[in-house]
């Protein structure tokens, strides 16, 4: 995908956003669909959020600002990560960073939703079964939206999620540029992260298994342009886990 352009122009130092997914939640652990529905972190999720902060600190990464989506899981993840960092700034919350809305599938089992989506995608493919090994992420989400028609519930398209997430991240970056640049920690959700970095030019075929809990995408913003340096990077969590085990 070709990266989107923005209209921002600045002579300030560049901004680097460390975009991460929230830690594991109760709904994640139960294998339930979690978009606009919400749940607190599990003990595993709390651990991985803390390990993220410890790992970032060990790597010498400091932050000038911090933001998270507006749900419990995002706020808990950010707070736990920041405990391991020397951060005394304000925390911003933004609903545009939340996960995709899955409509009638919210709270259902993941298996139920994806089986229904695969069947709908096959129907749209002339009745031919969809090869799971080549299952198209975008086509699957389009099928999810069709299955929600008439439900009266919010089910977002990938384009809608991309637009809001890209706008939120660009606004965060532009605001930080106005303050002289620097690093920003942002907590969001898996599909939203994939949508945003895809719009920035990332090759999503490298994330076929999804975005890991507390995995980091390093996004550089300068002169109105985005560069995805890395994504789905669990090295900070792994370093934080190793440090915790060594201190035990």
CB neighbour list of residue 125: distance below 8 Å, 6 or more residues apart = none
22 annotated to bind ligand: yes
25 annotated to bind ligand: yes
Q: Are β-strands 216-222 and 225-233 bridged in parallel, bridged antiparallel, or unpaired?
A: antiparallel
26 annotated to bind ligand: yes
210 annotated to bind ligand: no
Chain-centre distance of CA 216, in angstroms?
Answer: 9
24 annotated to bind ligand: yes
Q: Please pick, among 67, 74, 76, 99, the residue that the annotation labels catalytic.
A: 99
Residue 146: enclosing H or E segment and its boundaries?
Answer: helix 137-147
Which pair of tokens denotes residue 217? 């995408």
CA dist., res. 77 & res. 74, Å (int): 5
46 annotated to bind ligand: no
Task: Answer yes or no: 99 catalytic.
Answer: yes
Which pair of tokens denotes residue 218? 């390093």
Q: Please pick, among 22, 67, 74, 106, the residue that the annotation labels catalytic.
A: 22
171 annotated to bind ligand: no
Task: Answer yes or no: 67 catalytic.
Answer: no
**Quick one: DSSP state of residue 100?**
P
In this structure, are residues 84 and 4 in contact, taking their beta carbons and an 8 Å threshold? no
In this structure, are residues 225 and 6 in contact, taking their beta carbons and an 8 Å threshold? yes
Annotated binding residues, as ranges? Answer: 21-28, 73
Annotated binding residues for substrate, as ranges? Answer: 21-28, 73
Which residues are annotated as catalytic? 22, 99
């Amino acid at each position: 995908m070709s990266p989107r352009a923005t209209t921002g122009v600045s002579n300030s130092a560049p901004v680097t956003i460390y975009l991460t997914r929230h830690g594991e939640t109760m709904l994640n652990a139960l294998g339930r669909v979690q978009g606009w529905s919400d749940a607190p972190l599990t003990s595993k999720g709390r651990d991985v959020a803390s390990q993220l902060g410890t790992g970032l600190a060990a790597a010498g990464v400091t932050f000038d600002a911090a933001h998270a989506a507006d749900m419990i899981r995002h706020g808990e993840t950010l707070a736990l990560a920041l405990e391991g960092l020397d951060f005394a700034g304000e925390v911003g919350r933004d609903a545009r960073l939340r996960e995709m809305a899955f409509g009638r599938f919210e709270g259902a089992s993941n298996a139920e939703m994806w089986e229904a989506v695969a069947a709908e995608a096959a129907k749209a493919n002339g009745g031919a079964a969809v090869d799971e090994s080549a299952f198209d992420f975008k086509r699957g989400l389009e099928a999810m939206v069709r299955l929600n028609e008439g439900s009266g519930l919010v089910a977002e398209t990938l384009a809608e999620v991309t637009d809001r997430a890209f706008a939120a991240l660009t606004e965060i970056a532009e605001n930080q540029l106005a303050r002289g640049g620097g690093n920003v920690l942002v907590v969001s959700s898996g599909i939203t992260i994939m949508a945003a970095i895809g719009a920035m030019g990332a090759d999503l075929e490298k994330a076929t298994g999804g975005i890991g809990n507390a995995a980091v995408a390093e996004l550089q913003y300068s002169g109105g342009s985005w560069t995805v340096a890395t994504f789905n990077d669990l090295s900070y969590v792994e370093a934080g886990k190793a440090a915790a085990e060594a201190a035990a």
